Structure 1
């Protein structure tokens, strides 16, 4: 179980107050429930549309981090649903994703939490940035894993690398 689930096993054990056996039972239940989902691959044009949308959100983050995080959260959830993961609740979608993407699924949790905090007027820009990056890692993994295109990993990485890095602005100096 440790080899397959890694950090997801640790997270489940923490949820069960350190009881590793209970965590293993939970993960086995997830595998039975979601291991045979009928998932579909994205056509190259669909993948490119998702990449373009994410790229736009990355650029938007500089000026409106809360808005960008909320939209990235929705986009990631929509992508997962389009691939065939449950769309009825965030919790079920995360559980289902954890079966095949245990090393990256926490990115969805972080992005969702950051979006909730931003909607309530909380969370720092740094917390939102970290959540955005973690969400992006899952986003990329989903695009590459469920692509009809053999060169998807290089194509996705090449496209997302074109986004300019965030610039820090010295807001203390006068514009005049």
Structure 2
């Protein structure tokens, strides 16, 4: 082979290596970004799917769906009213824990509706919430499961108390979130007095 042919082959090999490196780095960056955004929900989705690629495609699809939703913050008046309702639900827990858990579930769903999340299907709610509220999804899952058992009168008082704690985690996050800042990140408003009770 002539020196020019060797040079062409060498350049082709370098181009292929660079292209492969670019694809690998792009995938690693996307994976890192998804892990940061979805936290424990990333790992859960990977475990539930046949492959990491399929899981990451699903998480990306969740982001796309979420970007089309009209998710908005609550007004100060709505946050105050919801915080008051939460305090009332917590007070009712003493005398009627099962009923209070059912009310807590309804209240969380109501906040989600007012924020602009679709609420018809529980699994879809989880999917939509996972984009911005992945850190509290396990709380929501556990609370919802206990709530279902409570409806069948198959939950202990301690489990009902745990459900209230789990619902409160998502409730607070939904209540306190404010719109995205100019840098694209969301700020979190400090809790109102009523919500901290």
TM-score bracket for this pair, using the shorter chain length? 0.7 to 0.9
Of 126, 130, 144, 2:162 maps to 130
Residues 38 and 66 from structure 1, CA distance in 2 versus in 1: closer, same or farther, beyond 3 angstroms? same
Where in structure 2 are the equivalents of 1:62-141 lying within 5 Å? 62-141=94-173
CA shift for structure 1 position 63: 2.1
Residue 38 of structure 2 corresponds to residue 2 of structure 1: no
Residues 12 and 51 from structure 1, CA distance in 2 versus in 1: closer, same or farther, beyond 3 angstroms? same
For structure 1, the 5+ residue unaligned runs are 164-176
Residues 128 and 35 from structure 1, CA distance in 2 versus in 1: closer, same or farther, beyond 3 angstroms? farther
Residue 88 of structure 2 corresponds to residue 53 of structure 1: no
- Whether the 8 Å CA contact 1:35–1:99 is kept in 2: the answer is no
Instruction: State the TM-score, normalizing by the size of structure 2.
Output: 0.72
CA shift for structure 1 position 97: 0.8
CA distance in 1, matches of 2:176, 2:195: 13
Residue 48 of structure 2 corresponds to residue 15 of structure 1: yes
Residue 190 of structure 2 corresponds to residue 154 of structure 1: yes
Give the ranges of 4+ consecutive aligned residues of structure 1 lying more than 4 Å apart after TM superposition.
none
Of 143, 147, 160, 2:175 maps to 143
Residues 34-64 of structure 1, C-alpha deviations (whole Å, 9 max, x = no match): 2331122222111111001111111111222
Q: What RMSD in Å do the two structures reach over aligned CA positions?
A: 2.1
- Whether the 8 Å CA contact 1:111–1:131 is kept in 2: the answer is yes
- Whether the 8 Å CA contact 1:83–1:146 is kept in 2: the answer is no
Instruction: Give the paired residue count.
Output: 157
Instruction: State the TM-score, normalizing by the size of structure 1.
Output: 0.79
For structure 2, the 5+ residue unaligned runs are 1-33, 180-187
